Amino acid sequence: MATKKTFNSATEKHCLTCAAHLPKDDEAVYCPTCEIRPVHLGYTDAQLRTAFSRVEPYGNWKNPIRQSFSPPLSGAERALISAAVGFFTGESAKFIEEEHETTVVGRGYYVVIGA
Ligand SMILES: [Zn+2]
């Protein structure tokens, strides 16, 4: 009977991107390579996750996205959020610009994959 290797989160810690082993007492969640390595459109994993968290649907990240920002997003914020939505859901977000706010709309992972 094969023994199953169980990840012990009390004593082991791994890079969020590549699963490389990290020292348990290290504050880092990425290995030094992934910390600075672009994974999508020039952005790092950490940048993409942080940006996606700003538009992530409540309860389930795979649901449709609709999040408004006031004041409106800057060009740099839009570019990063657009990349993040593309990275996580497989389809770019749409940006609806109004005088005092930007609304980010995405069909969401479930719809994009046809689930
Ligand atoms: Zn890594």
Per-residue model confidence as pLDDT tens digits over 67-77: 999 999 999 99
**Secondary structure of 9-64 in HEC code, one letter for each residue:** CCCCEECCCCCCEECCCCCCCCCHHHHHCEEECCEEHHHHHHHHHCCCCCCCCCCC
Tokens of 70: 């006031």
State the Cα–Cα distance between residues 56 and 58, nearest whole angstrom: 6
How far, in Å, from the CA of 95 to the mean position of ligand 1? 32
How far, in Å, from the CA of 39 to the mean position of ligand 1? 11
21-38 pLDDT, tens digit per residue, is 998 888 889 999 999 999
How far, in Å, from the CA of 70 to the mean position of ligand 1? 35
How far, in Å, from the CA of 109 to the mean position of ligand 1? 25
How far, in Å, from the CA of 20 to the mean position of ligand 1? 5
For residue 1, pLDDT beyond 60:
no
State the Cα–Cα distance between residues 12 and 16, nearest whole angstrom: 13
H/E stretch holding 106 reads strand 102-106
